[in-house]
Amino acid sequence: MRGWGVVPALDWSDAGQMAGPTLNDGVVRLRQWEIADARWYAVTAAHDDLIQRFATESPTLTAEQVRAAIVELANTADSAGFVICDADSGERLGNIGLRHAGGVGLASYWLAASARGRGAATRALRLLSDWAFECLALDELQLWTHAENSASRRVAERAGFVRCPALDQRRQVKAGVWDTVAYRLPAPTDRSGLSSGCQSTAHIVVP
């Protein structure tokens, strides 16, 4: 079994052409970030009103910064990130990733505006969750959203996360203070039904 923690370190020359494995439910596919995705990520994250309102992405994010993040995260054992793609066309739809420590992972995600409203984020979160429980052997996933972020709250609920008010916080995010609500998803007691195949991965920017 190979998980994120045993992926060999990559350098710049590797990072431009990472043909790593993917997670796929037949509708969306999660694949590794590549250097060639950096401009798309930066333009999408920095200029989308909803991402700027509800995600921690900087409004001044540049492709150069994303390139550096791709390389850095490829060498970071406690983070993973994927491009959410259309399973058929390969079109980029969004970003999903997690950071983990002590058996607990913190998930986050966003979709490009054109990809919203068809359940892609829910599918991606389910794929990520199954992979994290099976291949990283995490005990629990958590996520938090702005309290007013109804779409993200529905995504969390549809992916099986449950509200955890004890973890709610006021957070300093960018130029403001956000009231955030927390969700958690414990690992299934029987992980044998998960079918990620423990494909190795690496990378990127977790908003």
Q: Which residues bind ligand COA (CB under 6 A)?
A: 50-51, 54-55, 108-111, 116-117, 119-122, 145, 149-152, 154-155, 158
Supply the Cα-derived Rg of the chain in whole angstroms.
Answer: 16
Residue among 64 and 148 whose Cβ is closer to ligand COA: 148
Strand, coil or helix: 120: helix
Residue among 150 and 169 whose Cβ is closer to ligand COA: 150
Q: Are 91 and 54 a contacting pair, CB within 8 Å?
A: no
| Closest CB 26 distance from ligand COA, rounded Å | 17
Residue among 7 and 121 whose Cβ is closer to ligand COA: 121
One-letter identity of residue 168: D
| Closest CB 10 distance from ligand COA, rounded Å | 27
CB atoms within 10 A of CB 177: 9
Q: Are 203 and 66 a contacting pair, CB within 8 Å?
A: no
| Closest CB 158 distance from ligand COA, rounded Å | 5
Residue among 158 and 184 whose Cβ is closer to ligand COA: 158
| Closest CB 98 distance from ligand COA, rounded Å | 12
CB atoms within 10 A of CB 59: 11
Place of tokens 């590797």: 14
| Closest CB 167 distance from ligand COA, rounded Å | 14
CA 14 to CA 17: how far, in whole Å?
6
CB atoms within 10 A of CB 95: 29
Q: Put residue 103 in one of left, alpha, beta given phi > 0 → left and psi -120 to 50 → alpha.
A: left
Residue among 150 and 195 whose Cβ is closer to ligand COA: 150
Token representation of residue 70? 């791709």
Residue among 109 and 133 whose Cβ is closer to ligand COA: 109
What distances in angstroms separate CA 143 from CA 21, 24, 90, 139, 157, one per listed residue? 25, 22, 27, 14, 11
| Closest CB 142 distance from ligand COA, rounded Å | 11
